[in-house]
Amino acid sequence: MDLDYGQEYEDFRKEVKDFCSKYQGLEFSDSLGSRLGAGKKSENKNALTMTRSEWQKILIEQGYFAREIPQEYGGYGGTIDILKNKIINSEFAKAGVPPATRGQGIDYLVPTLLEMGTEEQKQKYIRPTLHFEMIWCQGYSEPNSGSDLASLQTKGVIDGDSWVINGQKIWTSTAKYAHMMFCLVRTEPDAPKHKGISYLLIPMDTPGIEIRPLVDMTLDAGFNEVFFTDVRIPAGNIVGERGQGWLVANKTLVHERGSLGDPTAIVSRMNQLIELMKTETLDGTRIIDKPVFRDRVMKIQGRVLAFQNHGLRLLSASLNKRKDAMFGVMILKLIGTELRHELEGLAIDVMGELGTLYQDSPNLRDNGSWQFAYMMYLGLIIGGGTNQIQKNIIAERGLGLPKAPKIKEA
């Protein structure tokens, strides 16, 4: 079997490498998400700096981001080429050059709008979202509606040419600095619960919205509560038809689950862990030369390689339109989040007592990104549908196993 990419793709790989060499050491002048460290920090005080928005535009112009999104919506306007996308991700990771800044708007909403949005919505929202000039948050979970999302109670009613919204959302990531929210709201109270929901687009500066940050174990307010009191938005701020919100939301969830377990990101993080083990020492010996730690990293590395191969299977499935990859994407989320959490935990063990440090210690390694990610991935195991729910869906719908018995209430 010939697994060579071919000359066209090797030429493209060289082009990407040359581009990356010009931007090694790039730092962002805005701090959003910096703790996870998308690229390598330069010690050069004269290092190249720019905003994330400026970097997004450069990447789009080169065709290294938003490749398949039409130019009229702010994308590069190229054809779908999964192998080129893989080369871009691989070479950026090897060079330590920051990829495009992503997020809920780019990863979840943009593909949803391309599939189900109106032309006006595509023109209005996709370009500024890709350019990182419009940040989005997701309004799904409520205090009594998490895994059973369809039981949500936030209400929306039509009053003239406006929706009037009342209710509450919780665990809303990025709400405190988001410009917009894509939100599930019950608009048909007499319909069955899955058919009474609509998918609305809500400006976060609308009067009647209150945001309360929730400080989590990372000591950041990564999550928020959002309260709606007589919030009025235009009636046209709906994706799909009234009562079709569950259908639209499931389109969004497919993209969310795929983004939470990116094989390329995990391989890159694995390489960073190995480099950390080469520099950290115990009793004068490199950690990577310690048999116990070497055994642990080899076990994780084997699973990372298997996970990478699963990503390649999904790549093949996406090239073959007859293959349904939905359950494969759910496996990405299920295994990817758990594997990433375990990998970050091993890094903390590698650092020994220094692994317990956090925030502003002078001996902190890698800006505390290992500790932050270890805690954050506990949350991502829950996000996008808990891994326990993922296992049930894969077992019942993918493998055809019997459904779990329901316990009758007394």
pLDDT, tens only, 25-51: 898 988 664 333 333 444 445 568 999
- pLDDT number for residue 37: 38
- Residues near 234 by beta carbon (within 8 Å), at least 6 away in sequence: 161, 162, 163
25 phi-psi bin (left φ>0, alpha ψ -120 to 50, beta other): left
Residue 183 pairs in a beta bridge with 139, 200
Q: Give me the amino acid identity at 48.
A: L
Count of the separate structural domains present in the chain? 3
Other CB atoms within a 10 A radius of the CB of residue 39 amount to 20
- 144 in the same domain as 95: no
Lowest mean pLDDT among 72-81, 107-116, 188-197, 383-392: 383-392
Of 54, 120, 188, 256, which is the active-site residue? 256
Lowest mean pLDDT among 14-23, 89-98, 154-163, 318-327: 318-327
- 226 in the same domain as 144: yes
User: 103 and 173 in contact (C-beta within 8 Å)?
Assistant: no
- 140 in the same domain as 95: no
pLDDT of 305-351, one tens digit each? 999 888 888 877 766 765 566 777 778 888 999 999 999 999 999 99
- pLDDT number for residue 397: 80
- 176 in the same domain as 89: no
Out of 200, 217, 243, pick the residue that ends a domain. Answer: 243
Radius of gyration of the chain (CA): 22
Contacts within 8 Å (CB) and 24+ apart, 22-29: 23/48, 23/97, 24/95, 24/96, 24/97, 26/50, 26/55, 26/97, 26/98, 28/52, 28/55, 28/98
Residue 158 pairs in a beta bridge with 163
- 223 in the same domain as 288: no
Query: Which CATH number is 221's domain given?
Result: 2.40.110.10
- Tell me which residue has tokens 């959002």: 226
- 316 in the same domain as 269: yes
Query: Which CATH number is 343's domain given?
Result: 1.20.140.10
- pLDDT number for residue 38: 36
Distance CA 145, CA 31 (A): 32
Picking from 59, 54, 74, the residue whose alpha carbon sits closest to that of residue 130 is 74
Residue 120, domain member (yes or no) = no
Classify 406 as helix, strand or coil.
coil
- 175 in the same domain as 95: no
- pLDDT number for residue 40: 40
Work out the pLDDT band at 210, boundaries 50, 70, 90. very high
Distance CA 195, CA 360 (A): 49
Distance CA 331, CA 228 (A): 35
pLDDT higher than threshold 90 for residue 379: no
Residue 121, domain member (yes or no) = no
- 265 in the same domain as 226: no
The domain of 378 spans 260-398
- pLDDT number for residue 32: 60
Residue 162, domain member (yes or no) = yes
Structure letter (DSSP) for residue 206: S
- 298 in the same domain as 389: yes
Distance CA 295, CA 288 (A): 9
Compute CA distances 379 → 32, 208, 252, 260, 393, whole Å.
19, 29, 19, 11, 20
Residue 251, domain member (yes or no) = no
- pLDDT number for residue 148: 80
Residue 27 catalytic?
A: no
How far out from the chain centre does Cα 366 lie? 21
Classify 211 as helix, strand or coil.
strand
Give the largest CA-CA distance in the chain.
74
pLDDT higher than threshold 60 for residue 117: yes
- Tell me which residue has tokens 């077992």: 395
Classify 270 as helix, strand or coil.
helix
Q: What percent of the chain has pLDDT over 90?
A: 58
Lowest mean pLDDT among 25-39, 255-269, 387-401: 25-39
The mean pLDDT of the chain is 88
Determine which helix (DSSP H) or strand (DSSP E) holds 313, and give its type and residue range.
helix 291-319
pLDDT of 226-249, one tens digit each? 999 999 999 999 999 999 999 999
Residue 353, domain member (yes or no) = yes
- 265 in the same domain as 381: yes
Work out the burial of residue 374: count CB atoms within 10 Å of its CB; fewer than 13 is exposed, 13-18 middle, 19 or more buried: buried
- 284 in the same domain as 229: no
Residue 223 pairs in a beta bridge with 214
Distance CA 178, CA 202 (A): 11
Distance CA 396, CA 171 (A): 28
Residue 106, domain member (yes or no) = no
Out of 200, 215, 243, pick the residue that ends a domain. Answer: 243
Residue 122, domain member (yes or no) = no
35 phi-psi bin (left φ>0, alpha ψ -120 to 50, beta other): alpha
Residue 65, domain member (yes or no) = yes
Query: Which CATH number is 64's domain given?
Result: 1.10.540
- pLDDT number for residue 33: 45
- Residues near 312 by beta carbon (within 8 Å), at least 6 away in sequence: none
Out of 243, 274, 290, pick the residue that ends a domain. Answer: 243
Q: Which residue has the higher pLDDT, 11 or 332?
A: 11
Picking from 134, 216, 144, the residue whose alpha carbon sits closest to that of residue 173 is 216
Q: Which residue has the higher pLDDT, 30 or 120?
A: 120
Work out the pLDDT band at 410, boundaries 50, 70, 90. low
Classify 258 as helix, strand or coil.
helix
- 337 in the same domain as 218: no
- pLDDT number for residue 324: 62
Determine which helix (DSSP H) or strand (DSSP E) holds 91, and give its type and residue range.
helix 82-95
User: 333 and 258 in contact (C-beta within 8 Å)?
Assistant: yes
Q: Which two tokens stand for residue 374?
A: 């270890």
- pLDDT number for residue 137: 95
Question: Mind giving me the DSSP string for 114-182?
Answer: HHH--HHHHHHHHHHHHTTSS-EEEE--BTTBSSSGGG---EEEEETTEEEEEEEE-S-TTGGG-SEEE
